[in-house]
Amino acid sequence: MPGPTVDPDGDQSAPDVPLRPAEGAARTPQGAPFATATVITLGCLVALGPFTTDLYLPALPDLTADLGSTAAAAQLTLTGSLLGMVVGQLLFGPLSDRIGRRRPMLAGLAAFTAASLLCAFADSMPLLVAGRVVQGAAGSAALVIARATVRDRLEGTAMIRFLATMGLISGLAPIVAPLAGAQLLHVTDWRGTFVALALLGAVLTVACGFGIGETLPPERRHGGGLGTTVRAIGGLLRDRVFLGYLLVSTFAFGALFAYVGGSSVVLQEVYRITPQTYSLVFAVNSVSLLAVTQFNGRFLVQRYSERTLLVCGLGAAALAGAAVVLCTTVWDTGLAGVWPALTVLMGAMGVILPNANGQALTMAPHAAGSASALLGTGTYLCGAVVAPLSSLGGHPSATVLGAVVLGCALLALGSFLPLCRGR
* pLDDT one-digit tens code per residue, 40-54: 888 889 889 888 887
Residue 7 lies in a domain: no
Shared-domain flag, residues 201 and 230: no
Greatest distance between any 2 Cα atoms in the chain: 65
Please check whether residue 48 is in contact with residue 112, taking contact to mean a CB–CB distance below 8 angstroms.
Answer: yes
The DSSP-derived string for 363-375 is T-TT-HHHHHHHH
Q: Which residues pair with 12 in a beta bridge?
A: 6
Residue 16 lies in a domain: no
Shared-domain flag, residues 254 and 309: yes
| Distance in angstroms (rounded) separating the CA atoms of residues 194 and 54 | 11
Residue 28's pLDDT is 35
| Distance in angstroms (rounded) separating the CA atoms of residues 155 and 153 | 7
Residue 414 lies in a domain: yes
Centre a 10 Å sphere on the Cβ of residue 168 and count the other Cβ atoms it contains. 17
How far is residue 45 from each of residues 42, 112, 212, 270, measured CA to CA in Å? 5, 12, 12, 36
Centre a 10 Å sphere on the Cβ of residue 91 and count the other Cβ atoms it contains. 18
pLDDT in tens, the chain (423 residues): 344 555 544 444 444 333 333 333 333 334 446 777 888 888 889 889 888 887 887 788 888 889 998 877 887 887 788 888 888 988 888 888 888 889 999 999 999 999 999 999 999 999 999 999 999 999 999 888 988 888 888 877 777 777 777 766 666 777 678 778 888 888 999 999 999 999 999 999 999 998 888 888 888 877 666 666 677 778 888 899 999 999 999 999 888 878 876 777 778 778 888 766 777 787 788 888 888 988 887 889 889 988 899 999 999 999 999 999 999 998 888 888 999 999 999 999 989 988 898 888 887 767 778 888 888 888 878 877 776 676 665 567 888 889 999 999 999 999 999 998 765
Residue 13's pLDDT is 47
Last residue of a domain, one of 187, 217, 247: 217
The DSSP-derived string for 199-254 is HHHHHHHHHHHHH----S-GGGS----HHHHHHHHHHHHH-HHHHHHHHHHHHHHH
| Distance in angstroms (rounded) separating the CA atoms of residues 404 and 398 | 10
Shared-domain flag, residues 88 and 192: yes
Question: Does the pTM exceed 0.75?
Answer: no
Nearest C-alpha neighbor of 247 from the set 415, 2, 41, 423:
415
Q: Which amino acid is at 404?
A: V
Query: What is the number of structural domains in the chain?
Result: 2
Mapping DSSP to helix (H, G, I), strand (E, B) and coil, where does residue 6 land?
A: strand
Nearest C-alpha neighbor of 371 from the set 209, 154, 169, 152:
152
Shared-domain flag, residues 189 and 282: no
Mapping DSSP to helix (H, G, I), strand (E, B) and coil, where does residue 30 land?
A: strand
Residues of the chain by 3-state class (helix, strand, coil), percent to 5: 80, 0, 20
| Distance in angstroms (rounded) separating the CA atoms of residues 317 and 407 | 10
> For 111, which DSSP code?
H
Beta-carbon contacts of 407 under 8 Å, excluding residues fewer than 6 positions away, are: 321
Q: Which amino acid is at 145?
A: I
Shared-domain flag, residues 367 and 403: yes
Q: What is the phi-psi region of residue 10: left when phi exceeds 0, alpha when psi lies from -120 to 50, beta otherwise? A: left
Shared-domain flag, residues 418 and 272: yes
Question: What domain range is 204 assigned to?
Answer: 34-217
Shared-domain flag, residues 195 and 154: yes
Q: What are phi and psi of 10, to 5 degrees?
A: 90, 5
Reported residue count of the chain is 423
Shared-domain flag, residues 71 and 117: yes
Last residue of a domain, one of 182, 201, 217: 217
Shared-domain flag, residues 238 and 114: no
Centre a 10 Å sphere on the Cβ of residue 1 and count the other Cβ atoms it contains. 9
Last residue of a domain, one of 217, 249, 264: 217
Shared-domain flag, residues 291 and 206: no
Shared-domain flag, residues 88 and 147: yes
Residue 103 lies in a domain: yes
Residue 248's pLDDT is 95
Beta-carbon contacts of 385 under 8 Å, excluding residues fewer than 6 positions away, are: 254
| Distance in angstroms (rounded) separating the CA atoms of residues 19 and 145 | 21
Nearest C-alpha neighbor of 5 from the set 169, 242, 216, 198:
242
Residue 12 lies in a domain: no
Q: What is the phi-psi region of residue 70: left when phi exceeds 0, alpha when psi lies from -120 to 50, beta otherwise? A: beta
Residue 216's pLDDT is 86
Shared-domain flag, residues 211 and 229: no
